[in-house]
Amino acid sequence: MTTPPQIDPRTVKAEQREAWDAISTGWRTAREVFERGAATVTRRLLELGEVGPGHRVLDIATGLGDPALSAARLVGATGSVVGVDISNSMLSAARRRAAEAGLDTVDFMVGDVESIDLPAGSFDVALSRWGLMFAIDHVAAFSGVRRLLVPGGVLAAAVWGPPATAPMMSLGYRVLSDRLQLPAPPPGTPGPFSMSDPRRLVAELAEAGFVDVSVTELVVPFRVDSAWQYAEFNRAVSPPKLLALLRERYGTADDLATWEAVATAAGEYQNGDGKLSMPSITLCVRAVAAGV
């Protein structure tokens, strides 16, 4: 895969950095709701990577520190974990969480998935929980990860399945997109669902020098207390550009009709107790770095 001609990498990266910095506070407030399901994926990635004592682990696009902090508990005093993220604000939160947990074998540094400035062969395992999809050039990003792994090192990553199968992340945006009449993004645009095709994903990893590639589906059991809590979750984690469009059209990013529309759509997933069950498919990748 090469960068589509209509995409300027510098602009995209600057926008990604700005967006993740801006919504870091929102993700902190929404973390408890999200982790009810996401913790299942962390456990699966640690299993796929066979993370254990003494391992050197890289967590790509660590965000608030997941799954880096969980990996740090497994590698023990003889191992080490490095979490990288494009957002300084996200990393600040991750560092606070590590300090509060007394984890001193984990470090965090600014880094982009396509240009992590660390020596080749630095890690035994690379993890990424819903971060790789924001790469512009998938093969280049995967090649960079392979370079950082020792021969035989393992990449264990999660990416979202197709939007229709992942309502926790797609439903709110679909409603907002409809209300704002947003056009579809250009082909090749990085985003949450850019790696949702398993066959293409396997081919891109193989092209990047990985072997023994497997992609399996995992149903993430997201549960939300109410339809309105789901709307609040989406309000908290919506990118600033999307909120700016809401302000432009409706006078405020907190337009009541908009967020009521999100809550109404989420009602499709309501159980008899009023809570929402929003099972969402993630693709779990396991790939081995071929020897050089």
Q: So what's the architecture of 9-162+188-222+277-289 in CATH?
A: 3-Layer(aba) Sandwich (3.40)
Phi, psi dihedral angles at 101 (to 5 degrees) = -85, -5
Backbone angles phi, psi at 190, to 5 degrees: -65, 145
| Entry pTM | 0.95
Question: Assign residue 130 a region: left if phi > 0, alpha if psi is -120 to 50, beta otherwise?
Answer: left
- Domain range list for the chain: 9-162+188-222+277-289
Give per-residue pLDDT as tens, 11-62.
Answer: 999 999 999 999 999 999 999 999 999 999 999 999 999 999 999 999 999 9
Per-residue model confidence (pLDDT) at position 8:
83
What is the spatial distance between Cα 38 and Cα 31, in angstroms, rounded to a whole number? 9
User: What confidence score (pLDDT) does residue 5 get?
Assistant: 54
| Residue 7: other Cβ atoms inside 10 A | 16
Nearest in space to 157 (alpha carbons), one of 120, 90, 202: 202
Kindly report, residue by residue over 181-229, the tens digit of the pLDDT. 999 888 888 999 999 999 999 999 999 999 999 999 999 999 999 999 9
In angstroms, rounded to a whole number, what is the distance separating the alpha carbons of residues 283 and 262?
Answer: 25
